């Protein structure tokens, strides 16, 4: 799956966008906003963390299945916790691509993304059979007066909710940038399924490309 709707405006759905010089993919912006909004309907506070995931220089990328397995194993390592996420795959000049992953969690129970980062390093190391220190970077947002601890907390009841929400949207729009997206050995982006708040169940959307299971 490759996105094709290019956004060149500095706003999208009334929210600020970092167009990174070449624009953003509208499909990816939709995934991000839908999952952020969905979490805020379910929880008063949502913790948002972003991980940048790379491969060792001497590693031969086997296709997206290694990343799908990473997502499944990360959820297991987090005690089976159900969280929303969006991921994108990019490649610059390196042989292997890299991934960006944003995770949306219940901010009433989790106020830091440090544990997720550490679990991700542990799981990535097991999958690649190497020391994964330095291969996963926790992106730290710089949002004035917002509580940032390996991520950021959005409090829908806070006075500055709209400002923080817009700042997080702008921060995450980096993932939707047109430059460097690649469909090398699989889809260029994907996400969790959306949960229906009223029924507590998941339903499929046209953008879903991954279900939580080990891919052989």
pLDDT in tens, 75-108: 999 998 889 999 999 988 888 999 999 999 999 8
CA distance 57 to 128: 12
pLDDT digits (tens, 9 = 90+) for 23-38: 899 999 999 999 999 9
pLDDT at 93: 80
Whole-number Å distance between alpha carbons of 50 and 102: 4
Q: How confident is the model at residue 185 (pLDDT cuts 50, 70, 90)?
A: low
Distance CA 167, CA 212 (A): 30
| Of 100, 92, 59, nearest in space to 182 by CA | 92
Query: What mean pLDDT comes out for the span 182-186?
Result: 66
Query: What integer is the mean pLDDT of 143-148?
Result: 64
Sequence-separated (6 or more) residues with CB below 8 Å from residue 64: 89, 185, 186, 187
| pLDDT of 72 above 90 | yes
Q: Is 90 exceeded by the pLDDT of residue 169?
A: yes
Measure Cα distances from 192 to 38, 85, 126, 182 in Å.
11, 5, 23, 20
213 pLDDT band (50/70/90 cuts)? Answer: very low
Give the pLDDT confidence score for residue 81 in this predicted structure.
Answer: 87
Mean per-residue pLDDT of the chain: 84
Split at pLDDT 50, 70, 90, the class of 183 is low
pTM passes above 0.85: yes
Residue whose structure tokens are 């299945």: 65
């Amino acid at each position: 799956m490759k996105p094709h709707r290019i956004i060149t405006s500095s706003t999208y759905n009334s929210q600020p966008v970092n167009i990174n010089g070449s624009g953003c993919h509208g499909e990816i912006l939709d995934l991000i906003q839908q999952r952020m909004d969905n979490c805020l309907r379910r929880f008063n506070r949502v913790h948002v963390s972003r991980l940048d995931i790379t491969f060792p220089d001497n590693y031969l990328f086997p296709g997206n299945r290694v990343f799908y397995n990473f997502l499944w194993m990360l959820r297991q390592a987090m005690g089976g916790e159900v969280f929303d996420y969006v991921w994108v795959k990019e490649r610059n000049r390196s042989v292997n691509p890299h991934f960006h992953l944003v995770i949306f969690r219940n901010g009433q129970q989790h106020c830091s993304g440090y544990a997720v980062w550490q679990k991700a390093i542990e799981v990535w190391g097991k999958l690649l059979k190497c020391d994964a220190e330095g291969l996963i970077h926790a992106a730290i947002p710089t949002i004035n007066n917002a509580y940032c601890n390996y991520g950021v907390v959005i409090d829908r009841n806070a006075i500055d909710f709209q400002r923080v929400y817009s700042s997080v949207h702008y921060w995450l729009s980096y993932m939707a940038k047109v430059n460097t997206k690649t469909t090398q050995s699989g889809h260029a982006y994907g996400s969790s399924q959306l949960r229906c708040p009223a029924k507590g169940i998941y339903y499929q959307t046209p953008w879903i490309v991954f279900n939580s299971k080990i891919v052989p």
